[in-house]
Structure 1
Amino acid sequence: MSSSRVALKASKGKVVKKSAADEDDGLAAVAAKFVKEWSTFAMKKAKVITHYGFIPLVIIIGMNSDPKPSLSQLLSPV
C-alpha cells in the first residue's frame, strides 16, 4: 500500500498536503466536526446571553430580596 499525497491549493496561496486516508472522513471525524461547530456556536450565544443578561438578573434578584428595595434604590450608586 503506497501513501499517495495530494496537494490542494488553499485560498491564500498556501499548499496543504493531504493523504488519501484523510480524504475518507469516517463517522467519528464527521461527528467530531459537528460537535466542535455546535459547541463553538453555543459558546458564542452563551457569551451574548451572559453579557446582556447579567445586570437584569442582578436587578431581579435584588428586587426579590428581603428588604424589598425600590428600583431607584437598586440603580442608585449610593
Structure 2
Amino acid sequence: MGSRVTLRTKGKGVKGAKVSEEKSMVDSFKEWSTWTMKKAKVVTHYGFIPLIIIIGMNSDPKPQVYQLLSPV
C-alpha cells in the first residue's frame, strides 16, 4: 500500500488541537458514512424482493402469491 505522510507539531498549541479535532471529525464522518452505506446495501439486498411482493399483494386486483412470483 502507499505510505502516508503525517505532520507532527511540537509542544502544546491551540492550532494543533484544532487541526486534530477537525481531522477526527472528518475521520468519524467517513467511518459513519461507510458504516451507513454498508448497512443500506444489506437492507436493500435482502429487502427488495419482499417489498415488491408486499406492494403486489396490496394492489387492487388481489393476486395470489404464485401469480406474483411467476415470470408470466
Change (3 A) 1:48 1:73: same
1:2-36: CA deviation from partner (whole Å, max 9, x where unpaired):
xxxxxxxxxx7x65442224xx5521111111110
TM-score of the superposed pair, with normalisation by structure 2: 0.76
Of Structure 1 and Structure 2, the greater strand share is in 1
Unaligned runs of 5+ in 2: 10-15
Partner of 1:32: 26
Partner of 1:19: 7
Secondary structure of the structure 2 residue equivalent to 1:18: coil
- Tell me the number of residue pairs that the alignment of Structure 1 and Structure 2 aligns: 64
TM-score of the superposed pair, with normalisation by structure 1: 0.70
Q: Which moved more, 1:27-36 or 1:53-62?
A: 27-36
Of Structure 1 and Structure 2, the greater helix share is in 2
Unaligned runs of 5+ in 1: 1-11
* TM-align CA RMSD: 1.9
Q: Which runs of 4+ in 1 moved over 3 A?
A: 14-17
Are residue 56 (structure 1) and residue 50 (structure 2) matched? yes
Secondary structure of the structure 1 residue equivalent to 2:6: strand
Change (3 A) 1:70 1:15: closer
Change (3 A) 1:16 1:68: closer
